[in-house]
A = this chain, B = another copy of it.
């Protein structure tokens, strides 16, 4: 794998750059915006995620020898453009929602300002990161709300491509999960890791007792034993026989969970293992978690559904040119008019307007030309949503690395408290709050 991220890019971005360098438009100052036209799957809110990853990838967005050789040999761009790319460093400005923030249709999640050359070639990388991570985080937030105070662990690495699995663990943690099974996510992003044992562990041993005894010898009786390899009732019996009533937990990975959980709880209590916790892990999603709210379950492990966005594996965000300077230096708001895919041209500033600490709307002011965009003082009850992430090529490192992840998680859990109650339901619906666009010239 190349360390450069510069070719994680669609070919047309470089051929457009090539043509723009020829016709002189490459220097035109441009504003691109990354936003979602709608919330996938009738979700009531979206969760911004990926920002910290994107910033680090953007630092590595440099064309090295391998990348340039490929572009030259394949005649993707001209020799002049290859020379231009040799020294390419992103020199523009990125403002955007904090990672972990909520978003709604039309929220200006990221705004990339710079020359056309600066900004056009980031389209695919920015969308790849944000679309994936937001899809996972949005699903994860719904699961986290459904789980209430019960701990949730992400265990879906095997159902996501190997590097996406790390990103998914990170996104789920930002949106309220407490831990992941993925070790690389622990190493790279500082996310707490957890694990129990697989069925192969039991099958490796001559008897289920042998497997349990060995696991306890290695990990202590506070460990969680997987009890459904053969017969759950016998498994629970053996687990307590081997570990004693101080057994930390049992894991159930099959069967009709509300029924099985109740049976296992009763059995554990009857055996005196009243403090032994029950973890369930079989094909859970937000709906299954909600359906288990009244069951004696102590923790959830979620796999496939969280890493695949619970039916919506991509957030559907787009990256569009919304304003540019013309030949005389004036600002022009621009927008595609295509059927069903229109967008809102112009530079934007976004606020979440609150009333009694509850979110009322997403208020977005638009400047078509040179109008001044509002500051916090101009919008009553409005929390300003955009912060500067990269200032003329200078990165704000606070958003990156494990510290960025912790900050994003804290921000997410805080702003989720602002949501109106109707936002917490799981059924398909309109967005929980409306997006209100206003003309900055009218203020």
Contact = CB atoms under 8 A, between A and B. Distances in A.
A336 B195 contact: no
A341 B254 contact: yes
Given A195-B15, A321-B199, A321-B203, A184 B217 contact: no
Interface stretch (A139-147, A158-166, A420-428): A158-166
A160 B182 CA distance: 20
B155 A7 contact: no
B321 A314 contact: no
B128 A254 contact: no
A8 interface: yes
B338 A165 contact: no
Contacts of A196: 12
A128 B339 contact: no
Contact of A10 (B14, B120, B183, B214): B183
A229 B157 contact: no
Interface stretch (A25-33, A356-364, A381-389): A25-33
Contacts of A182: 7-11, 124
Given A162-B8, A163-B163, A254 B217 contact: no
A161 B162 contact: no
Contacts of A28: 204
A347 interface: no
Contact of A16 (B160, B161, B201, B336): B201
A291 to B, nearest CB: 17
A12 B197 contact: yes
Interface stretch (A94-102, A185-193, A263-271, A401-409): A185-193
A157 B10 contact: yes
A339 B255 contact: yes
A171 to B, nearest CB: 10
A132 B206 CA distance: 34
Given A183-B11, A195-B15, A197-B12, A338 B253 contact: yes
A167 interface: yes
A76 B182 CA distance: 12
Contacts of A157: 8-10, 124, 128
A74 B188 CA distance: 13
A386 to B, nearest CB: 21
What 5 pairs across the A-B complex have the smallest Cβ distances?
Answer: A12-B195, A11-B195, A19-B218, A127-B158, A132-B161
21 contacts: A1-B188, A9-B157, A10-B182, A10-B183, A12-B196, A15-B195, A15-B218, A19-B214, A19-B215, A20-B201, A67-B187, A70-B186, A74-B193, A124-B157, A132-B161, A163-B163, A200-B320, A203-B334, A231-B337, A254-B340, A255-B338
